[in-house]
């Protein structure tokens, strides 16, 4: 962003943060968090949700005296607002949002709103895949290294709710493209982009360039004292991130042997070295708690952030070895009759499933399927031929999975319930095999969300 534009944005934020009528669209975690912070900062807050509001959030709103409605919008009241914070799940093309914009009412995201009232060091992490694991690992490294750091955003409490309730010198934020679409002056001191691969394209008119532009917004307000950590091996990031386009210090990561990068791989060792350091932080891949080549990158990113914030090398080495990974991400559930059952329900796109299959070191029975988001399954074909002995389809409509992989394996079975899929896998799998749930698809055909899908998988495995 040009200097003049940054000054204009700063002036706009300074005016908006002084108070007025705040409309909050959506009463989930981020919306209620924004409402709490708005109330605390003297706004006249009104929360409106087109659907039902969960009881726990209704209780919070009632206890704090915040006016709310559910099951529809009082448009005249909302359009009379001075500022609107909308849920990331509401697209910019929603009619009410378009009306607000047409009237000149700023519509922002909750992370933007929270950043107005937070003077802490911000670490923001985005990417199509790996952002949750990287955010959790980064938080773990900072906390283990003695820093008072909080974890918020797309994981756990909303950023706004946390700013309203407590104060920390550092926040690690997992942020999505939807949240970044609604920023004005949001400026993390350290930004991380794990990768950019096709995902959520239905929100971007099926245009990859718009999705890429959304992810890059994480760094648009950064200056020369800030840092942007990114995966140089990712072809999109390698093309899009260059010194001419970004004001921040660029810190590339690679699995190639390149001491000119901030993080690189030499043999079996990860190396992290910042500009003014004489020797790198070196960690053997064998000591990492997280498995798979993609997790080497996640570890590199988290360790780079930790070094930027002054965490000791020995503390980082110890912390990456004892980290407990996030649930539903290559989560080892049980080993039954020498067959390992692995829950990777968070793999809601092809790229995430690519990483999962790539990390398999034994013949694999693969459970796949759900709501197809226009997936291109061709990148998975070499891994399927090499590692997958059988495919179990799990979805209301399995036709695209069958079409893509019907000739790639000897056995393909269609199922329509998790208990059925796990029982079939149990019959097929042999000693030494893996059973991997890595759907490559969204979950909401048969499940509430990916957590529900993963929990049902674990329950079904434990019931065997």
User: Residue 154 has what pLDDT?
Assistant: 86
User: Residue 137 has what pLDDT?
Assistant: 96
What is the rounded CA–CA span in Å between residue 305 and residue 425? 40
Residues 6+ apart with CB under 8 A from 58: 27, 68, 70
What is the rounded CA–CA span in Å between residue 61 and residue 68? 7
User: Residue 2 has what pLDDT?
Assistant: 60
Read off the pTM.
0.80
User: Residue 290 has what pLDDT?
Assistant: 84
Residue ranges in the chain modelled with pLDDT below 70: 1-7
User: Residue 152 has what pLDDT?
Assistant: 96
Residue 46 backbone phi and psi in degrees, to 5: -135, 125
User: Residue 172 has what pLDDT?
Assistant: 98
User: Residue 276 has what pLDDT?
Assistant: 84
**Three-state DSSP state, 324:** coil
User: Residue 203 has what pLDDT?
Assistant: 80
What is the rounded CA–CA span in Å between residue 215 and residue 212? 5
What is the rounded CA–CA span in Å between residue 235 and residue 229? 15
Residues 6+ apart with CB under 8 A from 333: 341, 342, 343, 457, 458, 461, 462
């Amino acid at each position: 962003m040009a200097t003049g534009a940054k000054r204009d944005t700063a002036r706009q934020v300074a005016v908006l943060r002084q108070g007025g009528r705040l409309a909050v669209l959506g009463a989930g975690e981020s919306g209620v968090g924004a409402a709490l912070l708005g109330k605390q900062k003297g706004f006249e807050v009104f929360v409106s949700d087109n659907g039902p509001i969960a009881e726990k959030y209704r209780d919070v709103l009632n206890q704090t005296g915040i006016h709310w409605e559910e099951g529809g919008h009082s448009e005249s009241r909302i359009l009379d607002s001075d500022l609107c914070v909308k849920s990331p799940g509401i697209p910019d093309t929603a009619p009410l949002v378009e009306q607000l914009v047409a009237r000149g009412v700023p519509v922002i995201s909750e992370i933007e709103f929270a950043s107005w009232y937070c003077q802490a060091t911000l670490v923001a992490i985005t990417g199509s895949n790996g952002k949750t694991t990287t955010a959790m690992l980064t938080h773990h490294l900072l906390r283990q290294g003695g820093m008072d750091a909080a974890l918020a955003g797309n994981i756990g409490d909303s950023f706004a709710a946390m700013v309203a309730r407590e104060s920390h010198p550092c926040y690690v934020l997992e942020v999505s493209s939807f949240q970044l679409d609604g920023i004005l002056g949001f400026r993390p001191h350290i930004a991380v982009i794990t990768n950019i691969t096709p995902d959520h394209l239905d929100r971007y008119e099926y245009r990859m360039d718009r999705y890429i532009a959304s992810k890059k917004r994480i760094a648009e307000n950064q200056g020369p004292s800030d840092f942007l950590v990114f995966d140089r091996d990712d072809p999109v990031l390698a093309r899009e991130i260059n010194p001419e386009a970004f004001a921040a210090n660029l810190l590339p990561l690679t699995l190639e042997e390149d001491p000119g990068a901030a993080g690189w791989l030499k043999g079996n060792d990860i190396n992290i070295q910042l500009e003014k350091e004489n020797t790198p932080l070196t960690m053997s891949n064998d000591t990492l708690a997280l498995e798979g080549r993609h997790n080497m990158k996640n570890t590199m990113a988290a360790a780079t952030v930790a070094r930027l914030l002054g965490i000791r090398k020995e503390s980082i080495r110890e912390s990456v070895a004892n980290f407990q990974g996030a649930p539903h991400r290559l989560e080892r559930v049980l080993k039954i009759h020498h067959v390992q059952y692995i829950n990777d329900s968070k793999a809601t796109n092809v790229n995430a499933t690519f990483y999962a299959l790539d990390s398999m070191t034994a013949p694999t029975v693969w459970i796949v399927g759900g709501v197809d988001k226009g997936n291109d399954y061709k990148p998975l074909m070499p891994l399927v031929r090499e590692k997958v002995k059988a495919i179990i389809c799990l979805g209301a409509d399995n036709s695209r999975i069958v079409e893509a992989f019907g000739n790639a394996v000897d056995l393909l079975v269609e199922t329509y319930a998790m208990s059925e899929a796990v029982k079939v896998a149990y019959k097929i799998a042999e000693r030494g095999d893996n059973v991997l749930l890595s759907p490559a698809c969204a979950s909401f055909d048969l499940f509430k969300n990916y957590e529900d899908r993963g929990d049902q998988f674990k329950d079904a495995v434990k019931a065997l």
